[in-house]
């Protein structure tokens, strides 16, 4: 036993030493790493690859040491767009190369980025694009280029939009794991997969309208960039007439079919680079970092606060991918009390979440807008709880392909009674009063309990619709008619009064300045998250290896199915949540 103890102690000692060494190297690098700024040489081309850019806002932390260790020089899409705007006037930059772009950004983010690239082209500089293959979403962005290249052995996916939703009713019956659903809204399809084994007519109606509206934006932008009539684009999509490089060229979706070396040689020729010399390149990450660290400081006293609300809405502090009550309310309060801040822009990219937290944030906005204007800018999503926190703003901007609305609420209670019965487990409760027992997943749902819960759901739905009606200056009946949990695109939402204007973040900022009656101003980003080192360590790769291992063993699709069930089990309280199962392809 003593020998075994010594072995265990030795193993633990080695592990501790490795961890201390690992973090020691990081600490030394953080302290003595020096300046990472990359100089911009003359006649340079920005290489636009957005693989590592996922959010509008990369985030910052109140603790500078946490910022040092966590950010790693990360940038957000907003930083990229601002850098592209600056590149228009940078004499050292001659053009932008969209090279093999692989991105997890959403359609509304791509719309904002496309607008920035269109503006860049108008400065007289070029935008070229090359890829070994184009997914449909990637082609939407790349089609903005003056010249589009495609690898001869590649392919282009152009077939229209689709969405796939998994249904778990039969799985529940077979497994004995049952999800008790209490909802309001005939379109509240966020919980439909647990109620049915196929799509309802109402859900199919809204999904069809949603996809057609999204496609209208995508195809219209491609039509303008490529000078191809819309009927022709739909014909190409229907017949898969651009499925090979030569077919894509024949249909004028791409300009040149060639290998990457030919693409780079063409750029060299355009820049008049001779011989074996390569042309000067700078990545969008480096250029953006350079722009943010070397740009002249805006000395304007007046400020506009940009508060980013990204991810699902939940309690707690929140972070870059979770909208937390703590960071959001603190940010609104700081901006409200800062005399230099004349207006606030709330940038929302959220499918919703906790109804309680949504209401707390709504209240903070309600208090804030009595002091200074609040303008909302919607990104990919501002649905359900995401719309809840937007509805009382002075003005609401959305991209035409933003997904919004989904005004409805639901409650989900996991129940394992059928499974327990199969395993021979019986649970009984003893109580002093008729309703004393809390909900138990091992006891069949009491109809009286279900009635009380539905009453709560109905109350929150009524509150939600009332807030929207007051914020949008509509009647309760008018909102209720377009609510019921139905999702809308930004262009649809404009027609029914849920948003005021179609536009991106910069349009919302300009509107905020107009309402505040200021002409020169600087911007300040929020939130600053309150995180410590234990929070930071939880995000390291070794802390997430379990999920990666499960995905590898059971496959991506099976993992997603289990993950959805797990997420519903973990949700507490009534939810104002859009159908997060929507996956546009």
Contact 373, 516 (CB under 8 A): yes
* Alpha carbon distance 333, 566 (integer Å): 34
DSSP β-bridge partners for residue 403: 381, 489
Contact 213, 108 (CB under 8 A): no
For residue 198, which phi and psi values (nearest 5 degrees)? -155, 165
Catalytic residue among 94, 111, 137, 188: 188
DSSP 303: E
Within a 10 A sphere around the Cβ of 565, how many other Cβ atoms? 18
Contact 360, 329 (CB under 8 A): yes
> Which of 120, 99, 459 is CA-nearest to residue 266?
99
Q: Quick one: which H or E segment has residue 291?
A: helix 284-294
219 part of the active site: no
Collect contacts of 163-166 with beta carbons under 8 A, ≥24 apart. Answer: 163/207, 163/211, 163/582, 163/583, 163/584, 163/585, 164/583, 164/585, 165/189, 165/192, 165/193, 165/199, 165/203, 165/579, 165/581, 165/582, 166/193, 166/560, 166/561, 166/564, 166/581
For residue 229, which phi and psi values (nearest 5 degrees)? -60, 150
* Alpha carbon distance 403, 577 (integer Å): 12
224 part of the active site: no
C-alpha neighbours within 13 Å on the C-beta side of residue 343: 25
> Which of 571, 143, 145 is CA-nearest to residue 385?
571
Catalytic residue among 44, 384, 400, 406: 384
Q: Give me the residue label for tokens 């778990």.
A: 168
Contact 57, 310 (CB under 8 A): yes
DSSP secondary structure string, 44-100?
A: EEEE---TT--SS---EESSHHHHHHHHTT---HHHHHHHHHHHTT-TTEEEEEEES
DSSP β-bridge partners for residue 345: 306, 375
Dihedral sign from CA coordinates of 17, 23, 28, 33: positive
* Catalytically active residues, by annotation: 188, 384
């Amino acid at each position: 036993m003593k020998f075994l103890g010594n072995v265990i102690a030795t193993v633990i000692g080695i592990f501790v030493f490795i961890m201390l060494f690992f973090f020691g190297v990081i600490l030394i690098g953080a302290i003595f790493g020096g300046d990472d700024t990359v100089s911009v040489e003359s006649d340079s081309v920005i290489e636009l690859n957005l693989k590592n850019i996922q959010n509008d806002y990369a985030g910052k932390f109140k603790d500078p040491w946490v910022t040092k260790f966590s950010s790693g020089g990360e940038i957000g899409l907003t930083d990229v767009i601002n850098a592209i705007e600056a590149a228009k006037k940078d004499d050292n930059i001659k053009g932008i190369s969209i090279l093999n772009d692989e991105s997890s950004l959403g359609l509304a983010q791509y719309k904002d980025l496309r607008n920035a690239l269109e503006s860049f082209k108008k400065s007289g500089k070029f935008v070229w694009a090359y890829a070994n293959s184009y997914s449909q979403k990637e082609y939407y962005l790349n089609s903005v280029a003056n010249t589009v290249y495609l690898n001869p052995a590649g392919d282009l996916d152009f077939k229209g939009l689709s969405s796939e939703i998994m249904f778990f009713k039969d799985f529940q019956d077979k497994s004995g794991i049952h999800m008790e659903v209490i909802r309001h809204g005939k379109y509240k399809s966020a919980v439909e997969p647990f109620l049915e084994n196929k799509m309802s007519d109402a859900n199919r109606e809204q999904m069809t309208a949603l996809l057609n509206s999204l496609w209208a934006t995508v195809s219209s932008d491609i039509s303008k960039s490529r000078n191809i009539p819309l009927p022709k684009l739909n014909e190409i999509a229907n017949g898969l007439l651009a499925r090979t490089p030569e077919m894509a060229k024949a249909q004028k979706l791409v300009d040149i079919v060639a290998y990457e070396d030919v693409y780079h040689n063409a750029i060299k020729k355009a820049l008049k680079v001779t011989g074996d010399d390569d042309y000067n390149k700078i990545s969008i990450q480096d250029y953006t970092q350079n722009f943010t660290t070397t740009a002249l400081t805006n000395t304007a006293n007046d400020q506009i606060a940009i508060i980013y609300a990204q991810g699902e809405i939940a309690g707690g502090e929140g972070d870059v991918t979770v909208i937390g009550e703590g960071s959001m309310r603190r940010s609104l309060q700081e901006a409200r009390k800062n005399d230099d801040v004349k207006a606030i822009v709330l940038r929302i990219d959220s499918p919703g979440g906790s109804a309680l937290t949504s209401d707390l944030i709504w209240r903070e906005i309600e208090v804030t807008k009595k002091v200074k204007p609040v303008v909302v800018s919607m990104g990919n999503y501002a649905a359900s709880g995401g719309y809840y926190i937007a509805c009382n703003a002075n003005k609401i901007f959305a991209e035409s392909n933003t997904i919004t609305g989904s005004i409805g609420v639901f409650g989900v209670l996991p129940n394992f009674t059928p499974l327990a019965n199969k395993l021979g487990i019986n649970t009984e409760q003893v109580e002093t009063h008729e309703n004393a027992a809390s909900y138990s997943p091992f006891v069949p749902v009491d109809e009286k309990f279900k009635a009380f819960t539905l009453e709560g759901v109905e109350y929150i739905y009524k509150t939600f619709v009332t807030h929207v009606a007051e914020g949008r200056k509509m009647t309760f009946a008018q909102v209720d008619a377009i609510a019921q949990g139905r999702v809308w695109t930004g262009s649809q939402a404009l027609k029914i009064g849920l948003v005021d204007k179609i536009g991106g973040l910069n349009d919302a900022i300009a509107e905020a300045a107009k309402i505040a009656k200021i002409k020169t101003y600087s911007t300040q980003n929020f939130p600053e998250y309150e995180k410590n080192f234990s929070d930071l360590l939880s995000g390291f790769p070794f802390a997430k290896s379990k999920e990666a291992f499960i995905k590898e063993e059971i496959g991506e699709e099976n993992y997603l199915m289990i993950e959805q069930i797990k997420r519903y089990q973990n949700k507490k309280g009534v939810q104002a949540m859009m159908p997060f199962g929507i996956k546009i392809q």
